[in-house]
Amino acid sequence: MQVTWVEHMEIEEKNPIHALFRDLIDGGMAFGAQRWLATLQRMCERLACLNVAGLPARDIGVAPSPDGKRSMMKLAQRMVTNFCANVGASNGHKWTTLSGVNDVGVRVTLHKNTDAGQPNGVVLSAATSIWLPISAERIFSFFKDERTRTQNTMLILQECCTDASGSVVVYSPVDLPAINIVMSGEDPSYVPILPSGFTILPDGRSAGGYGASSSSNPMGGSSGSLVTVAFQILMSSLPSAKLNLESVMTVNNLIGTTVQQIKAALSCPDV
């Protein structure tokens, strides 16, 4: 990989940075060049896998054909893109803070879905962030392990990706007929998905540093991790629906229960 353009920028902080993220941002780990390079490397590896002509031995019995594998990878990438776009703190989303499970609180926002690749209606997004005194690598291994998930009858599509700057675990319920179409190599653009998931970042409180290689100490040497828990729920199929107390209580309880289950499973104190 060759980098041909590097641009240095300075920004004015119009909004105060929460203390939970201050070390991560001030240390350059959130927006620094090392993060860019780590992300570029991961995307190059993904493109190489996407464009491979045949099926690697590890994919035989999983993907029926190279076309089926490519369609599934495209659907998973769209799922991650949707998750990041809809739970991010961009100007296009107006977030409301609820009394939450920690000092950051639970934030909620509404948006209307009209795209063919998403369920039509009003979607309620909710997210919170917590600090855990555990390495990001251990937390990532916990989240990506399907054995830690509550058993249910739903078919789940899950994408796990990690690089030197952090990790993402995103999942979405999917219909079996839709997945069969995707596995046959058809266009996955119209498969409706509504993803939820987790992001994991080093907390930036250690000077251990990290490199751009995803194969060497991918999580760095931080003393702990910042975990964001985010859910998206189809609140109503009516485009005119408004935020109501029942939906707020449901998602607030869901976030709180999930956070407590994570801490219990990882034997974390109530920090």
**Eight-class DSSP state of 214:** T
Spatial CB neighbours of 135, under 8 Å, sequence gap ≥ 6: 219, 222, 224, 225
Contact 78, 117 (CB under 8 A): yes
At residue 213, the pLDDT reads 35
Confidence of residue 92 (pLDDT cuts 50, 70, 90): low
At residue 152, the pLDDT reads 60
- Higher pLDDT: 209 or 59? It is 59
DSSP strand E in the chain: where? 96-98, 106-113, 121-132, 155-163, 166-174, 196-202, 225-236
Confidence of residue 41 (pLDDT cuts 50, 70, 90): confident
Confidence of residue 230 (pLDDT cuts 50, 70, 90): very high
Mean pLDDT of the chain: 81
**Eight-class DSSP state of 150:** P
At residue 210, the pLDDT reads 41
Spatial separation of the C-alpha atoms in residues 32 and 171, rounded to whole Å: 28
Percent of the chain at pLDDT > 70 equals 82
- Higher pLDDT: 218 or 168? It is 168
Q: Which of 105, 125, 98, 104 is nearest to 113 (CA)?
A: 125
* CA 139 to centroid of chain Cα atoms: 13
What is the number of other CB atoms lying within 10 angstroms of the CB of residue 23?
18
Q: Which domains are present in the chain?
A: 19-265 (3.30.530)
What is the number of other CB atoms lying within 10 angstroms of the CB of residue 32?
13
Spatial separation of the C-alpha atoms in residues 95 and 110, rounded to whole Å: 8
At residue 217, the pLDDT reads 42
Q: Using alpha carbons only, what angle is made at residue 179 by residues 56 and 261, rounded to the nearest 5 degrees? A: 90
Mean pLDDT confidence for 88-107: 71
Mean pLDDT confidence for 92-114: 76
Kindly report whether the global pTM for this prediction surpasses the value 0.75: yes
61: left (phi over 0), alpha (psi -120 to 50) or beta: left
Q: Report CA torsion sign: 92, 95, 101, 102.
A: positive
* CA 222 to centroid of chain Cα atoms: 20
Helix (H, G, I), strand (E, B), or coil: what is residue 173?
strand
Does 125 have pLDDT greater than 50? yes
Contact 233, 122 (CB under 8 A): no
- From residue 199, alpha-carbon distances to 43, 121, 168 in Å are 17, 26, 5
At residue 221, the pLDDT reads 54
β-strands 225-236, 196-202 pairing: antiparallel
β-strands 121-132, 155-163 pairing: unpaired
Confidence of residue 33 (pLDDT cuts 50, 70, 90): confident
Mean pLDDT confidence for 96-115: 76
31-35, 85-89, 91-95, 262-266: which is most confident: 262-266
Mean pLDDT confidence for 208-231: 61
At residue 216, the pLDDT reads 39
Confidence of residue 207 (pLDDT cuts 50, 70, 90): very low
At residue 150, the pLDDT reads 65
At residue 99, the pLDDT reads 66
At residue 127, the pLDDT reads 93
Q: Which of 36, 99, 42, 95 is nearest to 215 (CA)?
A: 42
Does 147 have pLDDT greater than 50? yes
Q: Which of 269, 265, 271 is nearest to 139 (CA)?
A: 265
Q: Which of 202, 192, 199, 191 is nearest to 160 (CA)?
A: 199
Mean pLDDT confidence for 45-57: 77
